[in-house]
A = this chain, B = another copy of it.
Amino acid sequence: MSDRLTIALDAMGGDDAPGIVIDGANLALTRFPQVDFLLFGPEPALQALLERTPKLKARCRIFHTDVAIAADAKPSLAMRNGRQSSMRLAINAVQEGHAAGVVSAGNTGALMAMAKLVLRTLPGIDRPAICSFFPTLRGESVMLDLGANIDCDADNLFQFAVMGEVFARTVLGLARPTVGLLNVGAEDQKGHESLRIVSQRLRDATLPIAFHGFIEGNDIATGTVDVIVTDGFTGNVALKTAEGTVKLFSQSLRSAFKSSPLASIGYLLARPAMQKLRRRLDPRRYNGAVFLGLNGIAVKSHGGADALGFANAIGVAVDMALHGFLDTVREEFQHLYPDLGLLPPTAAVAP
């Protein structure tokens, strides 16, 4: 099968590994029947789990290791002591061309540090960024950086914009995604110096980016643009502020429904609609933070993700691989900086 695809899974990352990882892979297989998996983790436990899912079992190869990266391990320590860890071996599989991408629900900092060391960054990109999806009034947007780079200069932000645009094109399937820079106002003179510089560069770019200009925090949920570009500090705060606000709203809604017998009956009648709403804003739908800018596909699932969430994270890796994300980013940077020279595509994307 020409479109067959292999994904490497860190079977020891996340709160409920390896159970969730196997269940997630099983779910993902129904959506993407062309995917094979490499599982990195304790063989006996994985074998036992796979007995329950014979279809998946036929599509998996297990690579045994007992070494897990602790959720709270410092990235530097994890790098030093984790050479035989499930996370590291899964990343190695991408670098060696055995898998088109890696998915882990483990320690974010360690995953980023290891993936950067092993896969390296794409030509033209100084620092990778964490990118994820947001539900909006119009549908879905992507936002980066969500926490990989606390301090970003104009070069970093510019590169995030180019990568984010390609990501929205290849994964959201948009022909011409719009790009906005997160700021405290729409006017030209607003915000940090670096934002004004990168705004000017995005307007001048020979790259055909549909640059919207500055946006504000409220534009994230409105869906004013398809791609929101910001530094990792601001992006992380915005992401978590939105999550906290949804939680506040949901809990207030729940107590409102419980506040009177009539309201409770109202809830029962409106329940299917409420469930639809919950599904629409379900964080599991938006699970799968991608490390953009690496010379390989690496997706981080939320540590507390359930099987559905983990399956969605796998789906993001598969989408990126199927739609040639890495090659398109390489081409864009080649246009922007012809002097860079194109590295040959890694084996990871053409296994």
Contact = CB atoms under 8 A, between A and B. Distances in A.
Assembly stoichiometry (copies) = 2
Contacts of A244: 217-222, 242
A225 interface: no
Contacts of A266: 265-271, 273
Contacts of A340: none
Interface string A229-268: 0101110111111111111111111001101101101111
Contacts of A263: 269-270, 272-273
Interface in A111-167: 135-137, 147, 150-151
B241 A136 contact: no
A237 to B, nearest CB: 4
Main secondary structure of the interface of A (DSSP, over half): helix
A164 B8 CA distance: 49
Contacts of A175: none
A163 to B, nearest CB: 20
A269 B265 contact: yes
Interface of A: 135-137, 147, 150-151, 182, 184, 191-192, 216-222, 230, 232-234, 236-253, 256-257, 259-260, 262-263, 265-274, 276-277, 280-281
Given A184-B237, A266-B269, 5 more contacts: A217-B237, A242-B245, A246-B249, A260-B273, A266-B266
